[in-house]
Structure 1
Amino acid sequence: MTINVVVIDDHTLVREAVCRMIDSEPDLAVVGQAGGIAEGRTVLAQNLIHVLVVDVSMPDGSGLVLARAAREASPRLGIVVLTMHNDDETLLEALDLGASALVLKSAPSDEVIAAVRRAAVAPDAFMATGLAEALRRRDSSDKPRLTPREAEVLDRLVAGDSIAAVAKKLYMSESTVKTHVSKVYEKLGAHNRASAVMSALRLGLVKAESVGHARH
């Protein structure tokens, strides 16, 4: 069986190199590629694929948000997160969203190919260099453990977005946003947006420069 792959990365040279690498393998085929989130959504909707290879940071949004939406639409889709960010936050967010693997852009080509093949047959089994160490560091932290969705909602609340604006930007219903807000408040020991923002700042979950004017 040929494994159909879509590659989404805003760096043209990287994207083309990854596509050539994948297409050089007899059992793999790139059936679509995109240089951004909006274009990526269209490519995903137009192709039957087995594995999505996606960058984390793109000019028009987060590759992890796109990957989460793709996972929700197709639970058996393999997702390989390709990134230059070698940090716990990126690794653990990829794990929490249900990615199959996280591979650094500096990794050897055979590691990328192996991740794609493994993602196709075992999409739910996460693989990443340094995973065990990152999990130990997370478990030893006294910070509240927000889910990726809760962290996104917190970021939008801190920026001052209304519930309606958060729902629109994160492609959720307002009732779902309110549920996430309630969970965020509970984990931060907060009773309203202002106290949630203060708790998030104190715990280092957000940066002071990201705080906007709260709109309820």
Structure 2
Amino acid sequence: MIRLVIVDDHPVVRDGLRGMFSGDPDFEVVGEAADGAEAITVVEALRPDVVLMDLRMPRTDGVTAITALRDRGNAARVLVLTTYDTESDVLPAIKAGATGYLLKDTPRDDLFRAVRSASRGEAVLSPSVATTLLGQVRAPATDQLSQRELEVLGLVARGSTNKEAAAKLFISEATVKTHLLHVYTKLGVNDRAAAVAVAFERGLF
């Protein structure tokens, strides 16, 4: 029997999931939590096999809870169950240590199979989530910045204006703008701040 803890800030969702899993002899719902902070306490106390974890919750979000459980050495497998499949949701959850990532429109039988797989430590991903991760894995092959683009971005990161960067690199201000536009495209961002943040995150500096 797989012991489950359900974490979601909506009581209706928790009730629905509890009812669904309680109707199958392979599962036992041993606890619930309404946010990440409560989840940490409940999971530490009950030591379930699998945690169904929502991401966007008040007080403490799912990624924070997943990270805390990992850092505490908790052996429970965390299976994210949410409505969001954007890169900004998926990547932090997977990096934090989630075993799988499913969307709330996942059919009942697929959800059951996913929980069984997660309990064995197998990665489980919704198709759209797998596509998101695949895109991220492929990204480095297409987003390599040139040496000049890195130099421009490095100056921007240190607070230089386009004019100042142009003077330091002995190029025109228009050329600096062109390099930055290429950087934005390659990193998938729209402004200087985001470009710098992504560059730091990917270890480009």
Query: How high is the TM-score relative to the length of structure 1?
Result: 0.62
The whole-number CA distance in structure 2 between the counterparts of 1:116 and 1:107 is 12
Deviation at 1:30, TM superposition (A): 0.7
Counterparts of 1:1-216 in structure 2, within 5 Å, are: 2-74=1-73, 76-123=75-122, 125-138=123-136, 139-140=138-139, 142=143, 189=154, 201-203=193-195, 205=197
Deviation at 1:7, TM superposition (A): 0.6
- For residue 70 of structure 1, what is the amino acid of its counterpart? L
The whole-number CA distance in structure 2 between the counterparts of 1:109 and 1:193 is 51
Deviation at 1:137, TM superposition (A): 2.5
The whole-number CA distance in structure 2 between the counterparts of 1:48 and 1:126 is 21
Indicate the residue corresponding to 2:178 in structure 1: none
Indicate the residue corresponding to 2:177 in structure 1: none
The whole-number CA distance in structure 1 between the counterparts of 2:9 and 2:144 is 33
Deviation at 1:41, TM superposition (A): 2.2
Larger Rg: 2
Q: Determine if contact 2:157/2:196 at 8 Å carries over to the other structure.
A: no
Q: Determine if contact 1:143/1:203 at 8 Å carries over to the other structure.
A: no
Cα distance change on mapping 1:29 and 1:132 into 2, 3 Å: closer
The whole-number CA distance in structure 1 between the counterparts of 2:120 and 2:125 is 13
Q: Determine if contact 2:77/2:121 at 8 Å carries over to the other structure.
A: yes
Identical counterparts, % of pairs: 31
Q: Determine if contact 1:7/1:34 at 8 Å carries over to the other structure.
A: yes
Structure 1 residue matching 2:29: 3-state secondary structure: strand
Cα distance change on mapping 1:132 and 1:45 into 2, 3 Å: closer
Structure 1 residue matching 2:18: 3-state secondary structure: helix
The whole-number CA distance in structure 2 between the counterparts of 1:43 and 1:96 is 22
Q: Determine if contact 1:37/1:62 at 8 Å carries over to the other structure.
A: yes
The whole-number CA distance in structure 1 between the counterparts of 2:5 and 2:75 is 15
Deviation at 1:190, TM superposition (A): 7.8
Structure 1 stretches lacking a partner, 5+ long: 145-187, 207-216
- For residue 137 of structure 1, what is the amino acid of its counterpart? G
Cα distance change on mapping 1:14 and 1:76 into 2, 3 Å: same
- For residue 45 of structure 1, what is the amino acid of its counterpart? E
- For residue 35 of structure 2, what is the amino acid of its counterpart? G
The whole-number CA distance in structure 1 between the counterparts of 2:49 and 2:155 is 42
- For residue 201 of structure 1, what is the amino acid of its counterpart? A
Deviation at 1:70, TM superposition (A): 1.4
Q: CA RMSD in A?
A: 2.9
Q: Determine if contact 1:99/1:126 at 8 Å carries over to the other structure.
A: no
Query: How high is the TM-score relative to the length of structure 2?
Result: 0.66
Q: Determine if contact 1:91/1:128 at 8 Å carries over to the other structure.
A: no
Cα distance change on mapping 1:189 and 1:101 into 2, 3 Å: same
Cα distance change on mapping 1:22 and 1:203 into 2, 3 Å: same
